[in-house]
Amino acid sequence: MTDTIERFDFQAESRQLLDLMIHSVYSHKEIFLRELISNASDALDRRRFEAVSNPDALPDGTELEIWMEPDTDGRTLTIRDTGIGMSREEVIDLIGTIAKSGTREFTQKLKESKESDAVDLIGQFGVGFYSGFMVADKMTLVTRRTGEETGTKWESEGDGSYTLEEVTPEAVGTAITLHLKPADAEDGMDDFAEEWKLREIVKKYSDFVAYPIKMNVSREEIERDDEGKPVEGAEAKTVIEAQTLNSMKAIWLRGKDDVTDEEYAEFYKHIAHDWTPPLATIRANIEGTLEYKLLLFIPEKAPFDLYMREGRRGVQLYVKRVFIMDDCDALVPEYLRWVRGVVDSEDLSLNISREILQQDRQIQRMQKGLVGKVLDHLKQLRDDDAEKYTKFWGEFGRVLKEGTYTDHEVQDRILDLCRFDSTMDDGEQTSLQSYIDRMKDGQETIYYMTGETREAVEQSPHLEAFKEKGFEILILTDPVDEIWTQSVHEYEGKKLQSIGRGAVDLDDDGDKEEKEKAAQEKAETHASLIEMLKNALKDEVKDVRLSSRLTSSPACLVTDEGDLSPQLEQIMRASNQPVPESKRILELNPKHPLLEKMQGMYDADKDDAQLNDYAELLYGQAALAEGQAPSNPGRLAKLLAELMVRA
């Protein structure tokens, strides 16, 4: 045993974060307790789980519990658990570093946020332990890990550094002592050493915690006789006894209607490490060959790590009410990675490990059941509560859409839930069904256009003829839209077609035959000019042809049937995937005067060097018109300037 105390500095970012947190949250300071209890409960879960494979981790007679130890005179509050504890390395790693992922992002958001949001942010980014500094000017943590003989004492005044010291705690587990700031009601600083206050906070935030949260409480006891009457003249005695402050009831075992919304909300906050109540709660008891219970939540806001590869994912798995693991990702497909909650199975083995989960047939069937329940619920939400549904879609729609190509079994069900921008949406997104309801007589195709932004799509020349003829176009601007549209080709018997891809035939009025004949003639008139352009642009495009989708622009670029769109190419490049070489097609507007002008130049002198410049300009501005950077912007600018001088 050594008695050396080592001092460590927090990283600059952590320091800044700590400072902001201590000074920007004034209300609800009591939530620090929920966070510390939640950490203790996680540590107890982990110890119990470790004991499944290593019984030594939990010797007989060890109680798994949490103690509140207030000291009113010394003005401290200790939260002690008999959980798994931490090794010295873990203390440095887990406690010495605040909110490892996304600290910068968090600090930024905290700076910009209103105070009420600051509380949400603290929870989302997992700086729970440090919320203790909202009420304490010093925190001491003493911990000993299962399997280790000595322990570690960590101490900090939240000022930029902490100390570590080797100690020898009697038992495995963690004790966190808060040296409380003076109580000051005006500053939201309640007296957190008061018995009744602690009782109130535990009941409010942590009632469902599955381990007893105990506290020694004192009670005045008057001596009574055999009949239960107070003995006259006897003095009251102070009796101290341990009391369990929480009911510990697994909330998903209680009758659906016996649980209040507040209780669901608190439970959700506990398991999701969120501070905002959930948007929706889903409960189901599945019976039959497989029996399991679901208590699932849709968060109100997308977590910050929703799009991170290492983002948190999955639900808690219980087997016959015994906690097995957190973040069980085998139970939820990627596209539902935002779902939080609990799955309690009657059939799985308690020894089930993460490795075999992925292949387990029962787990796969449970996953299907879970997906079904979530999609059912979303459908109901869509039909019954449009406002909530819109909120949901705004936060998670992009992720849900991934399911259309990763899980073919539910493709149609997800398409039913999708919402899209459209050229006729009046500020509200549309469903595919409403699009179909608005289709023109005889229209058999659902038209869409993908692009980076709504503005880019709306300005793109491809839309011109469609708009003029009154067709509605869905505007798809999420990167994931580029992907799902590759594998979804039909909805409710209607073809889905990109208006930036392949050939289109919009001539639905007038004499078709006559029009075709006219188009044919037009093509023949310009055949040699087009051939010349094709040659001039052979490195850029795979074909040049006359278009039926343009009304006012002279040209546009389209993607050939079966080729990758430029946006998809970008996505693939960004994720370091090999991108096959593909060129696009330049379509010219047969009604545009520019074509006639070029034809005139060509007829006068088919070797006119200016025609090559025109070809380049046409190509460059077609790229610009759809929001793409032209392949050689400098050259395009120069050609334009020359043209302006000549004009």
Quote the CA–CA distance of 261 and 328 in Å, as a whole number: 25
The residue among 296, 340, 290 whose CA lies nearest residue 314 is 340
The answer to whether residues 141 and 83 touch, using CB atoms and an 8 Å cutoff, is: no
Question: Smallest distance from the beta carbon of 90 to ligand ADP, in angstroms?
Answer: 7
Q: Which positions from 254 to 273 touch ligand ADP by CB under 6 A, shown as an x/- string?
A: -------------------x
- 132 touches ligand ADP by CB under 6 A: no
Binding to ligand ADP (CB under 6 A): which residues in 584-623? none
Measured distance CA(123)–CA(441) in Å, rounded:
53
The H or E element containing residue 496 is strand 494-498
Q: How far is CA 365 from CA 142, 326, 358, 374, 619, in A?
A: 44, 19, 11, 14, 53
Identify the residue among 21, 58, 127, 598 touching ligand ADP (CB under 6 A). 127
279 touches ligand ADP (CB under 6 A): no
Closest CB 149 distance from ligand ADP, rounded Å:
18
**Is 158 near ligand ADP (CB under 6 A)?**
no
352 near ligand ADP (CB under 6 A):
no
Supply the minimum distance, in Å, between the C-beta of residue 171 and ligand ADP: 13
Specify whether the CB–CB gap between 98 and 127 falls below 8 A: yes
SS3 148: coil
Buried b (16+ CB within 10 A) or exposed e, 131-169: bbbbbbebbbbbbbbbeeeebbbbbbebeeebebbebeb
In the complex with ligand ADP, which residue's Cβ is closer, 168 or 610? 168
Q: Are 589 and 551 in contact (CB under 8 A)?
A: yes
**Shortest spacing between CB 86 and ligand ADP, in angstroms:** 5
Name the residue nearer to ligand ADP (CB basis): 35 or 626: 35
Tell whether residue 106 is a contact of ligand ADP (CB under 6 A): no
| Closest CB to ligand ADP among residues 95, 374 | 95
Is the Cβ of residue 94 or residue 601 nearer to ligand ADP in the bound state?
94
The residue within the footprint of ligand ADP, chosen from 40, 77, 122, 295 (CB under 6 A), is 40
Minimal distance, residue 628 CB to ligand ADP, in Å: 43
Nearest to 481 by CA among 546, 578, 558, 415: 415
From the CB of 198, what's the least distance to ligand ADP, in Å? 17
Q: Rule CB under 6 A: is residue 86 a binding residue for ligand ADP?
A: yes
Quote helix, strand, coil % in the chain, to nearest 5: 45, 20, 35
Q: Do 262 and 221 contact (CB within 8 A), yes or no?
A: no
Q: Is 440 exposed, middle or buried (0-12, 13-18, 19+ CB in 10 A)?
A: exposed
142 binding ligand ADP? (CB under 6 A): no
Closest approach of Cβ 98 to ligand ADP, in Å?
7
CB of 126 to ligand ADP, least distance (A): 3
Single out the residue of 22, 58, 95, 558 in contact with ligand ADP (rule: CB under 6 A): 95
Of the listed pieces 120-128, 224-232, 292-300, 326-334, which binds ligand ADP according to CB under 6 A?
120-128
Query: Is 174 near ligand ADP (CB under 6 A)?
Result: yes
164 binds ligand ADP, rule: CB under 6 A: no
Region of 563 (left: φ > 0; alpha: ψ -120 to 50; beta: rest) is: beta
Please report whether residue 397 would count as binding ligand ADP according to CB under 6 A.
no
In whole angstroms, how far apart are CA 32 and each of 83, 130, 154?
A: 19, 8, 18
Under the criterion CB under 6 A, does residue 392 sit at the interface with ligand ADP? no
Q: Kindly state the smallest distance separating residue 146's Cβ from ligand ADP, in Å.
A: 10
Stretch that binds ligand ADP, among 13-21, 83-91, 243-251, 626-634 (CB under 6 A): 83-91
**293 near ligand ADP, rule: CB under 6 A:** no
Q: Closest-CB residue for ligand ADP? A: 126
| Bridge-based pairing state of the strands 445-450 and 473-476 | parallel
Hey, is 344 helix, strand or coil? strand
Distance from C-alpha of 4 to C-alpha of 590, rounded to nearest angstrom: 86
Question: Which listed residue (70, 96, 126, 151) binds ligand ADP by CB under 6 A?
Answer: 126
Whose Cβ is closer to ligand ADP: residue 146's or residue 497's? 146
Min dist CB 143 to ligand ADP, Å, is 6
Structure tokens at 216: 């020694």
Least Cβ distance, residue 79 to ligand ADP (angstroms): 8
Does the footprint of ligand ADP cover residue 128 (CB under 6 A)?
yes
- Residue 629's alpha-carbon distances to 185, 581, 583, 591, 623, in angstroms, are 60, 18, 15, 26, 6
State the angle between helix axes of 527-536 and 593-604 in degrees (0 to 180), rounded to the nearest 10: 90
Report the residue number, 128 or 158, with the smaller CB distance to ligand ADP: 128
Q: Please, which residue, 149 or 186, has the CB nearer to ligand ADP?
A: 149
Instruction: Please name the residue ranges forming H helices in 401-540.
Output: 403-406, 411-417, 432-438, 454-459, 464-468, 479-487, 512-525, 527-536
Per the CB < 8 A criterion, the answer to whether 128 and 42 are in contact is: no
Nearest distance, CB of residue 36 and ligand ADP, angstroms? 7
The bridge status of strand 173-180 relative to strand 161-167 is unpaired
Q: Which stretch binds ligand ADP (CB under 6 A): 36-44, 50-58, 477-485, 504-512?
A: 36-44
What is d(CA 59, CA 430) in angstroms, rounded to the nearest whole number?
A: 60
Residue 81 touches ligand ADP, criterion: CB under 6 A:
yes
Q: How far is the CB of 200 from ligand ADP (least distance, A)?
A: 22
Query: Residue 189: beta bridge partners?
Result: 184
Is 344 a residue that touches ligand ADP (CB under 6 A)? no
> Out of 106, 129, 154, 435, which residue is the one contacting ligand ADP (CB under 6 A)?
129
| Residues of this chain that bind ligand ADP (CB under 6 A) | 35, 39-40, 43, 81, 83-86, 94-95, 126-129, 174, 273
